[in-house]
Amino acid sequence: MKKKRPLILISNDDGFAAKGINSLLEYVRGFGDIIACAPESAQSGFSCAFSSEKPLRLRLVREEPGLQVWACNGTPVDCLKIAIDQICDRMPDIVISGINHGDNASVNSHYSGTMGVAREGCMKGIPSVAFSLCNYSPDADFSNTARLIKIITGRVLEDGLPKNVCLNVNFPDTPEIKGTKVCRMCNGIWEKELVKERHPRGYDYYWMVGQFRDTEPEATDTDEWALAHGYAAITPTTIDTTAYSAMQKISDWDL
């Protein structure tokens, strides 16, 4: 009996037409059969949100041997849920998210729909990886990421990942990537996050903007340091968010 090729499930938060996801499709096509299910439009900042108050719709937008691309009107996590339930004929061997237009390092990983996809896959027991490039341009050049994406995809398909761990991989936007650093998430904060404007009809409205500040700029073991110095940052990310180091302290409160 002929062994089935690995099934690769791909999504993102920039939408099915984004250059990032279409570059990713080309980079990993040799690894197995691909089903991509991505939002109809950009869904940045949706993290692990899913739709509970509106019906979801699916449409097939591209089909070739070994490749299907679907669009869904929901969030990135909706796309993963509906693909696994309605499109895939078996559980995927790997979930890949991206390539995101813009980085998802530091606290950005908590807001990221790109990482929401990887977390959802991980929660379902599927080895999952999110890829992001530090370039927000719709026409960003992703070609420098191809070699490492292929290497990481191959290793994850071959070796898997520890239970409840997914990978957050961020690439610097540099002519040459120096290598990789396996590193921790940087501590950082968003500041000056809102701009207030006055509408001609007499009411105030607000734009969400903001500036990111690295609160530990001297640390050399973080994703922000790696990216600033030309390295791809690989951050193993856990689903279990329990602060084990704080458990005894809270227990000592003797509540």
Place of tokens 């790997």: 94
- Report pLDDT digits (tens) over 97-109: 999 999 999 999 9
Instruction: Read off the pLDDT of residues 165-219 as tens digits, 9 standing for 90 and up.
Output: 999 999 999 999 999 999 999 999 888 889 999 999 999 999 988 888 888 989 9
pLDDT tens digits for range 204-250: 999 988 888 888 989 999 999 999 999 999 999 999 999 999 999 99
- Give the distance from CA 237 to its chain's centroid: 11
b/e sequence 100-123, b meaning 16+ C-beta within 10 Å: bbbbbbbbbbeebbbbbbbbbbbe
Cβ-based burial of 88 (10 A; exposed 0-12, middle 13-18, buried ≥19): middle
Q: Which residues pair with 131 in a beta bridge?
A: 169
According to the model, what pLDDT value does residue 1 have? Answer: 56
* Model confidence, pTM: 0.93
Q: pLDDT exceeding 70 applies to what percent of the chain?
A: 99
User: Where does residue 161 rank: exposed (0-12), middle (13-18), buried (19+ CB within 10 A)?
Assistant: middle
